[in-house]
Amino acid sequence: MEQAKEALNSLTKNDFSQVKSFATPPKTVPDVFQATQLIMAGFWPEAIEVDKNRRPKNNAWKDCLKMMKSPEDFMNRLIQFKDTVDMN
């Protein structure tokens, strides 16, 4: 868990802007963001539409891009999520 927190703290909004620019990302990149969608489902309803089981309805790359619409907002949401998890 500590390694994940350190990794998150090392990211910048420019990192997400670069990832967002991929029309066809490297093979494992969508997996990372699809996992992020799954973890954050229900926490961020404005960006991640969920089904009745609180799982993302759609998790294709284009849906991940919607989640990263604003890289700065995305970073803030990740930090807020991390802080929420830290408190529990």
pLDDT, position 46? 85
pLDDT in tens, 64-87: 998 888 888 888 888 888 777 665
Q: Is the pLDDT of residue 34 over 90?
A: yes
Q: What is the mean pLDDT of the chain?
A: 85
Residue 50, pLDDT > 80, answer yes
Q: In this predicted structure, what is the pLDDT of residue 23?
A: 84
3-state secondary structure of 2: helix
**What is the SS3 assignment for 19?**
helix
- For residue 17, give its domain range: 2-87
State yes or no: pLDDT of 1 exceeds 70. no
- Taken as a whole, the chain contains a residue count of 88
How many domains does one find in the chain?
Answer: 1
